[in-house]
Each structure stands twice: as structure tokens, then as C-alpha cells.
Structure 1
Amino acid sequence: MTVFGLPIETLYLYMLIIAAALTIIYMLFGDVLEGIGEVIPIANPILILAFVTFFSATGYLLETLTSLSSLIIIFIAMLIAFILDTLLNVFILGPLASAEESLGYTEESLIGRVGKIIIPVPADGYGEVVIESKSGRISKPVTAYHNQPIPEGTEVLILDIKGGVLYAEPYSKDVLDA
């Protein structure tokens, strides 16, 4: 079968080479196109490029290795590409997207946590606190909840957050043990 004056095997091979090149370019410059996937969720560039790659690779292999009709091969290649694309989305891209988000934190999740003052808090002023987490250390501006000074090295309990500033009070484990 010929399409646009080319044998269909050559067309599959050209599609495969172009899709591979675009995939490499997308991996290098993908942040520029990241918004497309958010505006139109079905138009995720990775899934489109993966579909074209799977389709062209399957079509090329079936054309060169079997004697099936080209229309049957197109149908089989589309079906295999759809199945592989779906598996890629469900088992690889989906978990990767949720794993990336799970390393982050929200400011509200810091309320009730214990941190350590690294820059002392003056009366009616601001300092800095470090909070240990599973994904690393979080450093945030802090002020005292009742406007009293808090010296460096003091453990504090985060009570509130307003405008990106943590409001904290000195924390002592002895109070809880009594």
C-alpha cells in the first residue's frame, strides 16, 4: 500500500523517527508546553507522542513481519497503541503526578507542628523557624503569638498562620509529661 506516494512502511518509519525526535525535544523543553495539558487535559503532549510512537512502531513491525492487509494492520496498530497509552497513563504518569504533589506541603499543614527558632524573635518582631519534615527542612518567618521575645534554639509550637508568617509559642515536652 502507498500513501502520499510512499510505501506505508516508510511512512511508519518516518512517523517513528519524528515522534522520537519530538519526545526528546519535549523532554528538554517540556516546561514551556506544560500549560497545554492543564487547559485541555485530553491533549497531554506525552500521551499524544507516546500514542504516535506506539502506533508507528507497531505498524512498521507488522508491515515488515506479516502479510496482513494494511487496513487490518492500521486497526491493530491503533488498538495496541491505545492499550499501551492507557497503561502508560494509569500505571506510570498517574502515580508520578501524585508522588510529586505528596512531597509538598500546605501552610495549614504546619499548624500544630514543632519547630526550632534559628533567628531569635524580638518582642513585637519577626524571626525564623525551621521545621523538620519527611521531605526536608522547611524554613519560615515566625513571630510570637503573644508578642514576647523567643531566644534562638527554643522549640516552638506553631499555633496559627497569617500572611505567610507562622505564629508560635515556646514548646516544652515537660508540660505534656506532667
Structure 2
Amino acid sequence: MEALFWACLIGGIVYSVVTIVFGDILGDALDGLLDFLPDGLDWLHPMTVVGGITVFGGAGLMLGHYTDLAVWGVVAFALLAAVVIGAGVYFFYVRPMRATESSTGYSMEEMPGKLAEVLVPIPADGYGEVMLRMGAAGVTNRMAASFDGVPVEAGAQVVVVEVRDGTLYVSKLDSDFSSNILDERR
């Protein structure tokens, strides 16, 4: 039984070292490996499972050496320790970290209706460039064309009307409307 405990402990330590050193490479290579699991089994996160196996090995070794428990008593208490520590890892580390994951990405489909400022003048039948805020992603610059077919000068406030083929089609805001928007932002 001692060999099983040593194997669990050493296997968990090796897994930890390998994931620290090669974590990104392995993460990319094994991406989607556990996607077959139903949504309700998210507690089967590798950190939870491997952490439990490592604790099982370590607790089994310590209980076997420092107590007078029978073999099945050692296994039972080692399993209990593994479940308790694994649950602790899940509830106090894995689950909170999943809740904090956020993305600074944005989609082109989110852009219609956003206000922008013209950086490079937009000719009536050509392309220019606009700058717009995209939430947590910050500021982005995008190629733009006039939706109305009228030229738009640099510095003008525009609204994105639609997105086609990666190009923002914008329309110039009325001067009254854009000054109200600027006052509200200050």
C-alpha cells in the first residue's frame, strides 16, 4: 500500500512541476480534452482531482508512519483528507477564479450604435479611420466609410450605423447632439 501512496504523491508533484513549467504548451495541446464532461461536473477540474490524489498519497504516507491505524483505516482517513482538501481547492480557488475570468475582447457585432471620433477624414466614396471605446478593451481604431455617402472631416463625432466586411459604416452626428454627448461625458 505504501507504493500506492508514494506513486500518488510523486505523480501529483510531477504533474504540478510539469504544469508550472509547460502549462501553456500543455494547455494548448490538451484544450478541450475534458469537454465531454456534463456541465454539472465542473468540480472535476484537473487541479481539484490531482490535488486530491496528491493529498491522498501524502496523507496515506504520514498516517501509515505516524499512527497505529490498520491499513484500511489509513486508506479511509487518507481518502477523507483527499476529499476535504480537494473540495477546499475547488471552493476556495477554482470556482472563484472561474467567476473572475473576464475578457477584454469585443465583437464587431457590438459596434453598431457606438459613438466614435474620426481620426482620418472619410471621403464620400472612400475610407477613413475612426476611434471608439469598447468597454474593458479600451480604445480601438477601425477603418470606416460614410454610411450616407457624404464626406466626414477629422475630429467629427460619428455613430456606427452598421458593420460590413470589417468596415464600420458611420454617420455624422448633429452638432447639437454631439455637444450634448460631450457634456455628459465630462
> Alignment partner of 2:31: what SS?
helix
Q: Distance in 2 between matches of 1:94 and 1:104?
A: 22
2:153 match: secondary structure: coil
Match of 2:33, SS state, is helix
Q: Is the 8 A contact 2:10 2:54 kept in 1?
A: no
Which shows bigger deviation, 49-58 or 140-149?
Answer: 49-58
Q: 1:77 to 1:146 in 2, by over 3 A?
A: farther
Please tell me whether the aligned partners of residues 116 and 159 of structure 2 are also in contact (alpha carbons under 8 angstroms): yes
Counterpart position of 2:13: 17
Give RMSD over aligned pairs.
Answer: 3.1
Equivalence map 1:17-166=2 (5 Å)? 17-29=13-25, 30-38=27-35, 40=37, 44-132=45-133, 133-166=135-168
- SS of residue matched to 1:105: coil
Give the 3-state SS of the residue equivalent to 1:123 in structure 2.
Answer: coil
Q: Which amino acid aligns with 2:153?
A: P
**TM-score when normalising by structure 2:** 0.70
C-alpha offsets along residues 111-137 of structure 1, whole Å, 9 cap, x if unaligned?
222112222222222222221233322
Contact 1:63–1:70 (CA under 8 A) maintained in structure 2: yes
Write the distance in 2 (CA, Å) between the matches of 1:163 and 1:91: 45
- Cα deviations by residue, 1:14-48 (Å, 9 ceiling, x for unpaired): 23432323332442422222232445566754444
| Identical positions, percent | 26
Where structure 2 has 5 or more consecutive residues not aligned to the other structure, the ranges are 181-186
Q: Which residue of 1 aligns with 2:172?
A: 170
Q: TM-score, normalised by structure 1?
A: 0.72
